């Protein structure tokens, strides 16, 4: 399926050319000045690099004798699934798959494509189709690309070729790039949060809803997938640019049916970790499908343990009492909303499918949104 960029570079350049063409006859000097200013914008630079990458990919694929198999994506619609909970109760679920590509804010699309461009330079340098913009950062990003440090990626992109600059860390050019990148990033985060909240009907910022960012700090997500679950690991990694067996550079939409975990780290009322290109899962603390799979809680600061001891002393209940679970889950939710770093870890009774415990799964990087509802019997 190749690589589908988020930002409509072709349409952007067409509109820019049309606009400049209309003004050129009236005021050629101002038209040249406008073009010069436009060339400094993130939109112009990204569109230029997208075109460069697309031309390289086309050139790479021309003349190949092997016919590349076309991978058809599933038709977007509603799928009915039956899943059994750990308590033996069967749940009939409706999985609504929605295409949100056209609704994604432009700022978010640009960040998606900046990451694609950086990934092509850093991880697929052997393919020779990257824009070449990130070569200076290749060693720095090689082990950090999965962390998706968009602030650093954006600032370096704005700097361009600075290999020969002296006093790199103190130049006005560098300071301007960092300041511009910070402004762009703040706007992106604000628009992303508003967008995610809108498409999930207010669930994203609801403090009673847990949010998990898949692979927030690593290439996998909860366990050592590379060794323990190679199929899931490959499916997750192939969301980003990679070479097909026919040496074609492509990306694949993550198959949410393959997602499963024995524990997950959560925030609540939004995600602390950057999730502009990673899959984000939302689990409502009021959802019985989610609650019934929970076995353990963990929080790094120790506040949860203190709360549990106090609760047992005040109420005279043990860990298995229903009231204890309800109040402890509420405490976990509050801590997950307050904790701006690690969040809380919730362990499950087994390796549970994401579709059983989630209400929403967001994959804006590939323009997909999954809404999971339970059908009433």
Give the pLDDT confidence of 226-272 residue by residue, as tens digits. 666 667 667 777 888 888 766 778 888 888 998 888 888 898 888 87
User: Given its phi and psi angles, is residue 264 left (phi above 0), alpha (psi -120 to 50 degrees) or beta?
Assistant: beta
How far CA 327 is from CA of 1, 257, 319, 330, 331, in Å, comes to 48, 32, 11, 5, 6
Q: pLDDT band at 314, cuts 50/70/90?
A: low
Cβ(222)–Cβ(123) below 8 Å: no
The Cα 193–Cα 272 span in angstroms is: 11
DSSP, residue by residue, 341-375: SS-EEEEEEEEEEHHHH-SEEEEGGGTEEEEEEEP
Q: Give the other-Cβ count within 10 Å of 318's Cβ.
A: 8
The alpha carbon of residue 22 and the mean position of all alpha carbons in its chain are separated, in whole angstroms, by 39
Cβ(343)–Cβ(350) below 8 Å: no
Where do the domains of the chain lie?
A: 9-69+104-187, 78-103+202-374
| Cβ-Cβ contacts under 8 Å for 213 (sequence gap 6 or more) | 271, 273, 274, 275, 278, 279, 280
Q: pLDDT band at 1, cuts 50/70/90?
A: low
208: DSSP letter: T
Q: pLDDT band at 68, cuts 50/70/90?
A: very low
pTM over 0.85: no
Q: pLDDT band at 60, cuts 50/70/90?
A: low
The Cα 313–Cα 19 span in angstroms is: 72
Residue 240, phi then psi, degrees to nearest 5: -100, 170
Q: What is the CA radius of gyration of the chain?
A: 24
The Cα 347–Cα 335 span in angstroms is: 16
């Amino acid at each position: 399926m190749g690589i589908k960029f988020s930002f409509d570079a072709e349409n952007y350049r067409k509109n820019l050319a049309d606009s400049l063409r209309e003004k050129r006859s009236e005021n050629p000097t101002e038209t040249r000045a406008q073009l010069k200013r436009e060339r400094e914008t993130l939109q112009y630079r990204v569109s230029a690099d997208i075109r460069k990458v697309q031309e390289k990919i086309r050139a790479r694929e021309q003349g190949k004798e092997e016919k590349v198999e076309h991978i058809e994506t599933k038709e977007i619609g509603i799928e009915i699934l039956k899943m059994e909970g750990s308590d033996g109760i069967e749940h009939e679920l409706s999985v609504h798959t929605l295409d949100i590509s056209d609704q994604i804010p432009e700022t978010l699309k640009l960040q998606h494509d900046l990451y694609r461009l950086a990934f092509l330079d850093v991880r697929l340098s052997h393919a020779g189709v990257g824009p070449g913009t990130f070569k200076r950062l290749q060693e720095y990003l090689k082990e950090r690309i999965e962390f998706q440090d968009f602030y650093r990626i954006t600032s370096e992109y704005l700097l361009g070729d600075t290999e020969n600059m002296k006093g790199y860390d103190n130049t006005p050019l560098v300071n301007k790039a960092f300041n511009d990148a910070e402004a762009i990033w703040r706007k992106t985060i604000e628009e992303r949060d508003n967008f995610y909240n809108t498409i999930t009907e207010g669930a994203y910022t609801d403090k009673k809803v847990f949010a998990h960012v898949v692979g927030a700090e690593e290439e996998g997500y909860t366990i050592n997938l590379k060794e323990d679950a190679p199929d899931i690991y490959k499916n997750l990694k192939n969301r980003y640019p990679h070479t097909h067996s026919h040496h074609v550079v492509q990306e694949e939409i993550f198959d949410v049916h393959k997602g499963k975990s024995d524990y997950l780290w959560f925030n609540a009322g939004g995600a602390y970790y950057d999730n502009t290109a990673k899959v984000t899962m939302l689990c409502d603390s009021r959802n019985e499908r989610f609650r019934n799979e929970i076995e353990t809680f963990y929080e790094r600061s120790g506040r949860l343990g203190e709360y549990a001891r106090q609760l047992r002393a005040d109420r005279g209940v043990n860990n298995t009492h229903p009231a204890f679970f309800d109040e402890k889950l509420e405490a976990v939710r509050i801590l997950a909303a307050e904790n701006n770093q690690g969040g809380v870890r919730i362990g499950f009774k087994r390796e549970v499918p994401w579709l059983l415990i989630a209400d929403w799964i967001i994959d804006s990087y590939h323009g997909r949104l999954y809404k999971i509802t339970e059908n009433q019997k």
